[in-house]
Chains A and B, each alone.
Chain A
């Protein structure tokens, strides 16, 4: 039967168990992942099962690393996300969180756009560190993503978005994530994408300030290509701040919608 061991195809005799495969291939592995789940009791293997063998504390060789990074993915997901190209417009509270989730998924390629530099008040919700203060966000985020999943290709565009450069920035992306702060930019990007690129998907966000119920943040389908995340009303303004929990919830609504689109399982 065909079994994948650390994502590599192997032809093995039928009836073998997961722990027998472990003993043959990496006897010192203390984590055995079968089809995305860590098993602690032995299981008889079936055709196309995927096993990953990990020894805690050991830094894997680069040729094994990519498979190990995604061992806990639902089977079949990684090979699809690896072919995807996603654009992220804005690398603030929304964008930096979306980028990190997509990198952890192992997305094939990301095009990241922002003109701004990291400043201290960003750190209450954006995924940057103290050492990034003063750096352009494109540069800081690219460096972070390399340390999360070095197999993700990251293209950066350090520019302010305009009607003219929208085209060239996101030409290659099948899905664009709107992650701006300014509502005028949000509307401009969404209208431009829907009009000029009707075959592309746009996932946008509106309303995530404050600390009212997390359950108010939703994902709505506006058209079959336009999805809107947020509570639609919680505007960032004087007296109503933007903080990590709700902003990251909205960002991960966006990231999960991107994943559903890639997997063709849009609800």
Chain B
């Protein structure tokens, strides 16, 4: 699947939570968009990604 413009290979059935874990991103510092839809946080465990999906993950850094 494509994540932030890069082709990434992830094994088996990947939920958003496991995708974030693979990329070492904190679930509470991100906004996740799959195929142009923003995914609510309460669906990170139950929304599964497929190889045709295009994913954008905004990972916020501190400072402001």
Contact = CB atoms under 8 A, between A and B. Distances in A.
B63 A209 contact: yes
B12 interface: no
Interface string B36-56: 101011000000000000001
B59 to A, nearest CB: 8
Contact of B36 (A180, A223, A242): A223
B61 A223 contact: no
Interface string B2-32: 0000000000000000000000001011110
A181 B29 contact: no
Contacts of A232: 59, 61
Categorize the interface residue count of chain A: 35 or more
A208 B61 CA distance: 9
Nearest to A207: B61
Contact of B64 (A90, A194, A233): A90
Nearest to A220: B58
A252 to B, nearest CB: 13
A92 interface: yes
Given A195-B38, A223-B38, A181 B31 contact: no
A235 B61 contact: yes
A203 B15 CA distance: 28
Contact of A228 (B28, B38, B58, B64): B58
Interface in A156-190: 179-184, 186-188, 190
A28 B28 CA distance: 61
Interface of B: 26, 28-31, 33, 36, 38, 40-41, 56, 58-64
Given A222-B56, A223-B36, A223-B38, A191 B31 contact: yes
Given A184-B28, A195-B38, A208 B33 contact: no
A190 B31 contact: yes
A245 B11 CA distance: 44
B64 A181 contact: yes
A144 B33 CA distance: 39
A237 interface: yes
22 contacts: A92-B64, A95-B64, A183-B61, A184-B29, A186-B29, A186-B60, A188-B28, A191-B31, A194-B31, A195-B38, A204-B60, A207-B61, A207-B63, A208-B63, A222-B56, A226-B31, A228-B58, A234-B63, A236-B62, A236-B64, A247-B63, A247-B64
Contacts of B62: 181-183, 235-237
Given A232-B59, A234-B61, 4 more contacts: A183-B60, A186-B29, A206-B59, A233-B61
A186 B59 CA distance: 10
Given A184-B28, A187-B31, A191-B31, A94 B64 contact: yes
